[in-house]
Every structure is written in structure tokens, then in C-alpha cells.
Chain A
Amino acid sequence: MEVFAERIKSAFWLVGGLMFAIGLLGWYDRFAHGHAHAAYGNIVVWGLWVSVYIFFIGLSAGAFLVSSLVYVFAVKRFEPIGRLALFTALVTLLLALLSIIVDLGHMGRAWHVVVYANFNSPMAWMLYLYAFYSIILALELWFVLRTDFVRLEPTGGPGARLYRLLALGSSDASEVRIAADRRIVKVLASIGVPTAIMFHGGVGALFATVASRPHWHSGLYPILFVLSALVSGGALLAVVAAVFQDGVRRHRELILDLGRLVLALTALDVLFQVSEFLIAFRGGIPGHTAGLLLVINGPFKEVFWIGQVLLGTLVPLALLALPTRKNPWAVVVACGLIVLGVFAMRLNIVIPGLAVEEIRGLAATVSTPRITAHYVPSAAEWLLTIGIGGLGMLLFGLGERLLPRTQAEEN
């Protein structure tokens, strides 16, 4: 099993590097040609990049909320995964930032949100909460790791220089200081929990408040976003914990626990989503069902039936509920599938919600690929997305090498 884990790690670096390299083409295209090679248009105005964005911030908020089990609620059994969860939250948050900034028509004007604030806009609030959340997250992670930076810096091991840099000049590793750090972490984490919920729930509200897109316009949406975040974040952590550093060897019990947590959350998530469908279809208002009909019977129904339902929900639920739940690798596979299933779900939120022409006959008025309800992400969009995914893998790889283990783990 250990050999297997090592092989996974090498393959991981290789795939990550390759994806990142491919992504450079996408970045070049985005800077050289702007949005000209993106396939979204004026009916489906948001596409793959926005879907990827809400996927990543969901992972971030979910991982952060799982970390709060350690740093706010002091759940001992999740202790070993605390810093890993915070690290995951930070990396996925960075990836989210990259995916949304390329989606802007004018990337260089992102700062306008601060100067020309519109407090009526859910998007403006989302961006302020993004900024606040990222500060809390970075501070919390730093205070969690500070003493380790100080402790590891003189050992001269791999990354000693980096640790010295990251210690930001602090050198106090006394018990008193450690206790003080712990209190600060608890305060930060306690502020972080409502922040993460507001942030990601706020992204749900960003969609839900758009009354003109009935597919999104549901009071369940903000809650569904937070719930899906917990599901995907918890599931990703199980995968990361299995590969990261000591991996399954040390985290066996923890992974099984995460599996149980993810099972419960996924069941709740399914309940919410089923409710969304049942209410809409029994009500039968064409505007409300149009998007859902595209999800279950549109040109990309496989994304729903195979990606979201079969591989993303039914198979992992079975793996997590049947006796395979005691096998950590089965749990990891199930959790990996759940993460992919949530990605499919994110696509099914953004695209079918938009792929209904606002005025009947609108798409037929002009013959242009920019005014059509049909959307398939273009090569340029995929390349950039793959690159961002690759960057994420490389960052996880670096973290795997350099993130200090807890003292308990080293002993």
C-alpha cells in the first residue's frame, strides 16, 4: 500500500506539471485574444469559468468549515487534519480567484469594486466577503503554523529558508506563546465560521436573487450552496488526507470518520436537491421547470445522470454505506467521486440556469454564435481551466513536501 501511495505521488507531480504547462496555452490565449475564443455568449453569459469558480470556493468553504471542528469545537479525532484542511481551503481559494478573474471583461479593473462600491449588489458583497474570508484564513493558518516555522527553521531541513521567511521574524516558541497562538487561532476560527457560511451562502444568494432566471431563484439555493460546499470540501479532505504526507498509514481512522461525515452530509444534500425538483415540477410553471428539464433531458443530460446522479451520488453513497465503508481506499474513491459529482452539479447550476432564452424567439433573431442558448465550453476555456487545476495540483504537491507536520505526527 505504501508503494502504491508513493506511486500516486509521482504520478501526481507529473500530471499536475503537465496540466499546468498545457494551461499556459490557455493563459496566452486569454491575454492575447481576450474573450474572443470563449464560447459563452449573450444568452448563456457565464460558462465553465464561473462554474469552476463556484466549485473551488465551495471546496474552500467546505474544507474551512471542517477545520473548524478542530479549531473551534476541539473535536480531537479530526486534530491531525486541521492544518491540512486550512491549507486546502487556502489553495482552492486561490484557484477560485484565478478562475473568476479571467472571466472578467477587464481583469485590470477588479479594484473598481472597492472604489465604486454598490452595496445593493450581491456580487459586491461576495467580493468583500471573499477578501475578509481570505484574510481570516491566511492569518489562522499562519498562527497554526508559526511555532512550527520557528521550530523547523534552525534544523536546516528542506524548506528551512522558506520557513524563516514565513516566520516573519518571529522566533518565540515558548509554551506561553504557543498557548497564546492557540487562543488567537480559536478566535480567528470562530470569526471564520460565520464568514465562510456568509461568503459561500452569499454566492448562492448571488444566483438566487436573480429573479429573471427562475432556475436559480429559490430560497433553497444559498443553503444548498453551503451544504454542497461541506460535502465537496469534506470529501476532498478525505482524498487529500489519504495521499498527503503519511497518508492512509496514519490517517486511516480519520479517513473512515470523514467518510461517515460525508455520507451524512451527502444524504442531506440529496434531500435538498430532490425537494428542489419535486416542488418545481409539481408546480409546473414553465419558467421554473425549463432549466431543470435541460438538466435532466437537455443536450448534456449525461452530466446529470452519469456525472451527478450515478457516479457522484449513488455509487459513493453505496461505497460509504455498505461494508466497504471500513476500507479507507474505498472511502477515498467514494469521496473522489463525490468531488467530481459536485463539479457536475456546479455546471448544472450555472449553465442550464442561463440556457433558456429570456424572450421567446430571441436566439432566432440573429444568426450568430453569441446569441444562442446552446453552450459548449471552447478549447480555450478548457485549456485555462486545466491549467488552473494543474496549478492546484502543484501547490498541493509543494504543500505535501513543505507543510510542517504536527509535533505529534513526527514523534
Chain B
Amino acid sequence: MATCSRCASPIGTETYLLEVENALLRAGFTDVHHVRLCEVCKREAANQGQATGATASPPSAELPTTAMAVSRRDFVTRLAGVASVAGAVAVGLSAATGLASPSEPRKHRWGMVIDTRRCVGCQACMVACKAENKTPPGVNYVVVTNNMLGERPEDKPVFSAKPCFHCEKPPCVDVCPVSATFKRKQDGIVVIDYDRCIGCRYCQTACPYGARYFDFGEDYPAQTGDGAYRPPSPEYNQFRVREHGASPVGNVRKCTFCLHLQDENGEYDRAAGRWPACAKTCTGHAIRFGDFLDLDSEVSRLIRQHQTVRVKEEFGAEPNVLYLL
């Protein structure tokens, strides 16, 4: 049986508490999932997190030692650090795990709360995403599903917008044979290095949410032929123009929470319109975007005040997009 990392009392069934994770993240733990807390300690940690707010006053004195919280990934990185003198392979390795300073605390936990009651199924988010990211046919970073309730055909349909969930434990990341996809340390956004990705599509099989799309190199009719309109995509601020054989054609692509709209400090600015395109355009204001680490953000308030659900919770991916039903 698991024991509490703080008071060592046995833990039965564990419940999920976002505030606890946030408190730990703020305290500098890069991977909070290897910390196990009993219910009492969870509440205390959460209260501490509430009290300290965004400042990084650490509950770490009482929380487990770093040694206990070292994640497998950190461990691999440290190994790689030791081996880096051995040559290019090891250099590639430490670059691959992408952790220049493994203890750098997380600044943001970007995520969404999507209110299905407010979604009218207009698909404006899908259009806005296309317009923003210039994605080709068959590549849709956000889709709107429409599920009628089978037993109650007279009911209204349930629409829900579905971007990438930028999971806390993304199953897609670990399977990549070349470490081309990873979760950014500073804000948890799951990204793809187009120049490294070999296009094997293993990550697509591993994603439980269908959030990843392969670029088959196809174009919309207006983009084909001479003098066609081929706009560069602002994704990752790389402004690539799609061409046969050149990335991102032949790569897997996905939603980035429009991170190219962040400023140099990694901040979005809603008032200035630098905000993920789908959330910015949502006609019913169903898609709420924000930082779960900021306890005063709209999304943090929403999950405090309402019962939220996360899709396919049993897969353990811990999505950062939550739904209100």
C-alpha cells in the first residue's frame, strides 16, 4: 500500500486535487506525480498554496525531499549529464530531454475550461484555428463533436470543442522515439520539434484524445497551382511555408495553445488579442483559457466553483482541459 510522502500514513483511494498539484509545482517540483499525499496532508498543502498565492513561498520544508521527488525523467537527464563527455550521442540525449535546469519551477499551467452548456456548435473555433495556424485539410487542432444522447432523442445535442488537452502526463511524449515532442518545462504546453520529428505517427496512436494530426502534404484548392495563396504559418514563430518534402509536411502536428502569441516572457495578453484563437473567437464564450497556477484566473475560479470533468480520466493522462456539463 502506498504511504503518504509527508506523514508516512497509509493511503487508501486517492482523490485528485488540482490545488495540491499547483502548490507542489509552485514549490519547484518538476514532476508532482511521484509525490503521494494522504487526504489530510493534501488539504494542508492546498491551503498553504491558497495562502501563498502566486509567490513561491515553498511548503517544501515539510514536503518530501527532492531525492524522493526525483522523477524518472530527471534521473535519465542526470545520467545523460554524466555521460555527456562521451560524445555526440549523449549530447543529443540531454538536448532531447530538454532540461537545461531541471529544478526551474513551472511558471504557468495553461489550460482550458470548456462549458458545453455554452457551446452552440457554431464551429467558429475551428475556423479561427485554421485562420490562425494555416493548417492544411485533415489537420484540425480543434474540432467540435456533436453527440446526441442516444436514449433521449428529443434532447438537445451536446456539443463540445476539443483542442489538445496538454496533459500533465502526456502519453504521446514518452513514446516518441526521437524525443521530438515534449512538454515545455516553463508552462506545460506540449510541442513538436518539426525538424526532429521523423513522421512515424506513434504519438498519434498513443494520444487517447485524437489531438494529433499528420500533415499529408495536401492543400486546399485555393492553395494549389501557380500563383496560389500559400501563407506561412506563424506556429512556433517559425513562419514556415508548406512545401513537398519539407517540414511540417510529413510531420505530426498539434494544437500549441497558439504559443506564438506569447510575448518574450511567455505571457499572453487577452486585452491585446494575444490569446489562443479558439478561445478568443468563441461566440458563446464556452472556451475559457487561462493559467491554473494563477488562483485568480478565470479558469481557476471556474474549477473551484463548479464540478468539472476530465475526459477519459481512467487513462491517467491528467488533461489540462476540463469540461463543465
Contacts and interface: CB of A to CB of B under 8 A. Distances in A.
Report whether chain A binds chain B.
yes
B199 A115 contact: no
B144 A365 contact: yes
Interface string A340-372: 000000000000001001111110111011110
A210 interface: yes
Nearest to B216: A35
Given A114-B89, A119-B76, A42 B214 contact: yes
B92 A116 contact: yes
B217 A35 contact: yes
B207 interface: yes
Interface residues of B, number: 58
Given A116-B96, A368-B137, A123 B200 contact: yes
Contacts of A210: 171, 175, 205-206
Interface stretch (A102-110, A136-144, A184-192, A236-244): A102-110
Contacts of A360: 145, 147
A358 B209 contact: yes
Interface string A33-77: 111101001110110000000000000000000000000000000
B163 to A, nearest CB: 12
Given A117-B89, A358-B207, A34 B217 contact: yes
Given A123-B200, A124-B177, 16 more contacts: A33-B244, A34-B244, A38-B216, A103-B200, A105-B198, A106-B197, A106-B199, A112-B196, A116-B178, A118-B176, A121-B177, A210-B205, A211-B315, A364-B146, A365-B146, A370-B213
B167 to A, nearest CB: 11
Given A34-B249, A357-B210, A116 B196 contact: yes
Given A104-B200, A118-B96, A365-B140, A113 B147 contact: no
Interface in A115-162: 115-124, 127
A104 B198 contact: yes
B147 A361 contact: yes
A267 B180 CA distance: 42
Interface string A77-88: 000000000000
B88 interface: yes
Interface in B104-150: 126, 137-140, 143-147
B8 interface: no
B174 to A, nearest CB: 4
A103 to B, nearest CB: 7
Contacts of A358: 207-210
A374 interface: no
A127 B171 CA distance: 20
A213 B180 CA distance: 22
